[in-house]
Amino acid sequence: MKKNCQNITIHAVNFDQQGGPAFYASLPCDGERSKVCRANGAGDKKRLVSLLLAHVAAMGNPPWKRSFLSDSAAFPIHVVHDPLGRPHLLLGEYRMPAISFSESGGHVWAALCGDEADIGIDAAATDEFEGEYPLHRVFHDQELQHALRLTGGDLARASALLWSVKEAVVKALGCAFHLMAPLQVHVYPSIDGNRGYTFPVRLSRQALVRFPAGAGRSIWVRSFPREKMWLAIAHLI
């Protein structure tokens, strides 16, 4: 965890033997601005991208480092989206690290991958799952029971935990839930509880028929409890 000169904390996430690290940070959308955060978040996203890229560049010597640091006018960073909405970074001719965004809890979040893996980030507020929610349409019984054990039996927190994991995975895959259903993303019991949880995730056969690019991928998700929400970061290699 490191704060830059703008007092924005950049967090590092490791995936043990599964690669990484990944880095993430957030910017608040406070007061009245939070009501239009989604509409006006492009500037915040670009700012977060610049901060995360600067952090990665300072830690190593990626091929795009000189262009990124030397002349931002000649080599502007562009955030573009593919037909399914997946964001990509462009900087001249260079292939940039994978990027992902989420907006929840009055914040814009961004995650950047430190290696060549794909990444997805999702923040899910617990109040989104209060009241009646069609849990059987998105969670398997065994998934929900495990999440309930991790959250002390709090159904809303357990649901937010699971949903953020599944959403982060499909963001990392780049298909969102356009090509697969939540029940086709299987979340297995976490393997540790060291400052958060690490979940192995597998895709069903039906999901791989619709999205064969997901075959053979190793999928791990790190989940962290935040105030009234869960944050999940998926890493695919």
**Structure confidence by residue, pLDDT tens digits, 10-48:** 999 988 666 678 999 999 975 444 454 554 568 899 899
What is residue 74's three-state secondary structure?
A: coil
∠175-177-181 over CA atoms, to 5°? 125
In Å, the largest CA–CA distance within the chain is 54
Burial class (CB in 10 A: 0-12, 13-18, 19+), 70: exposed
The ranges of the chain with pLDDT < 70 are 1-6, 16-19, 30-41, 71-75, 193-194
Structural domain count, the chain:
1
Query: If DSSP codes are grouped into helix, strand and coil, which group holds residue 176?
Result: coil
pLDDT of residue 120: 97
Q: In angstroms, rounded to a whole number, what is the distance separating the alpha carbons of residues 96 and 69? A: 14
Q: Given 3-state DSSP classes, what are the helix, strand and coil percentages for the chain, each rounded to the nearest 5?
A: 35, 30, 35
The CATH number of whichever domain residue 136 belongs to comes to 3.90.470.20
pLDDT above 90 covers a percentage of the chain that reads 61
Q: What single string gives the DSSP state of each residue in 108-140?
A: EEEEEESSSSEEEEEEEEGGGGSS---GGGT--
φ/ψ of 70, rounded to 5, equals: -85, -45
Are 144 and 180 in contact by the 8 Å Cβ rule? The answer is no
Sheet holding 22-28: strands in order across?
A: 2-3, 9-13, 22-28, 107-113, 99-104
- The whole-number pLDDT of residue 93 equals 72
Domain extent, residue 10, equals 2-236
